[in-house]
Amino acid sequence: MTETVKALTVTELTRGIKKVLSDEFDDIKVEGELSNVLLHSSGHLYASLKDENSVIKLVMFKGANLKLKFKPAGGMNVIVHGRVDVYEKSGQYQIIADYMEEADGRGSLQKKFEDLRDKLVKEGLIVRKSDGTHHRSNPRPIPGFPEKIGIVTSPTGAAIQDMLNIIDRRFSNVTVVLDPVKVQGDGAAEEIAEAVARLNLLGGFDVLIVGRGGGSIEDLWAFNEESVARAIYASETPVISAVGHEIDFTIADFVADLRAPTPSAAAELVVKDKNDIIAVLEGASARLNQALSGMVERYGEKIAALGKTGLSSALKRTVEVYKERLNSLRKNAVLVRPGERVNELRQELDDLDQRATKAYGHFMELKLGVLVLAKSRLEGLNPLKILERGYSVTVNRKTGTIIRDSKDLKKGDPVELRFAKGSAGAEITETK
């Protein structure tokens, strides 16, 4: 009688695997390239260690992390000492490192990054500062109040939604045009470079934002490609680079006119808050009104007093001239009622908002009309429409080819007749 094998729970199996791996690989050294480096607020370091063919998770807890003599970053080639463990919650095996040192040589991606950066420095596109940082050699100012902004990023990522929400909240009158591109993977760099060139060719933009959300060095690599760097530098419109998180630096950051630490920060940098502008205008109006009132109080009585003294006629005429100027200032609508100008500006802003909304609606109507026309043309080209008028398609069942001439058939050939709805099998009895 065969003994029944007891079924293990998932936890029991995971713990068994953990014990085997821990016993077998409890004192190891592994060399590889760092990726997805994350320094948690707890002080623990999480990363991936990879080579050309494989990748493994790496954890370095706070106590060991504090002893590091360098700052780990994606692309670095390192040697770690530690043990293999299994994280029971996910069943994923990982290296628990107690020591890490920089290996001889650089990681492949880090080497490519530094080589391109140094190449662009030699060509004069990038300037290396004395503190070791890099920036564009001829950065241009970003417009203070842009009316039209071009954005090059993924249409499905969180970055575009964050930027649109911030821009709409801060100043909804701004026109935003998205040129959708891939931001990682094969062909991403070419799409980004072409989009930057395309928006420049289209023209009319005050500033461009090029970027994406955070990720590993591999995820952000498209923004370290030479084609993207040269397209950004060649842009006639000022460019803001907004790639990844605050700790992420790319070649695109170095050649752009301004680097934003995140896409959301780029939106805040490029668009002023309408409420802040109104507050500044109202503050200036209040100060001007207060200064005018003080001037009237300080000099009005003095001028009146001088007029009562026995002054020469010339001095009296001078006093009268200044009195007339003072009275004119008192009657000036802008000075007497400065709040009216602020209200006018508010109304102009609202009018611009309405005009922009109306223009956008008209634009969408035109595009919808184009789509409807294209749909109609496509439907007219639909072969099923032809079949619905009573025609059919004859296919040779042996070769799968469509028959256009009776010479392509001979007696006994099996065929399939395809109609607008369904099909039927047949055999050729004769041809003419």
Number of neighbouring beta carbons within 10 Å of residue 253: 25
Q: Predicted confidence band at 310 (pLDDT cuts at 50, 70, 90)? A: very low
With H, G, I as helix, E, B as strand and everything else as coil, classify residue 207.
strand
pLDDT of 410 reads: 85
pLDDT digits (tens, 9 = 90+) for 247-264: 778 999 999 999 999 999
Q: What is the mean pLDDT of residues 316-324?
A: 75
Between 218 and 158, whose confidence is greater? 158
| Other Cβ atoms within 10 Å of 62 Cβ, number | 12
Lowest mean pLDDT among 38-42, 69-73, 296-300, 355-359: 296-300
Distance CA 229, CA 241 (A): 11
**Tens of pLDDT along 81-128?**
999 988 888 888 999 999 898 886 556 777 888 899 999 999 999 999
How many C-beta neighbours within 10 Å does residue 388 have? 12
Cα Rg for the chain, rounded, in angstroms? 36
Residue type, 190: E
Token pair of 169, please? 């909240």
pTM of the full structure: 0.51
Residue 204 vs residue 293, higher pLDDT: 204
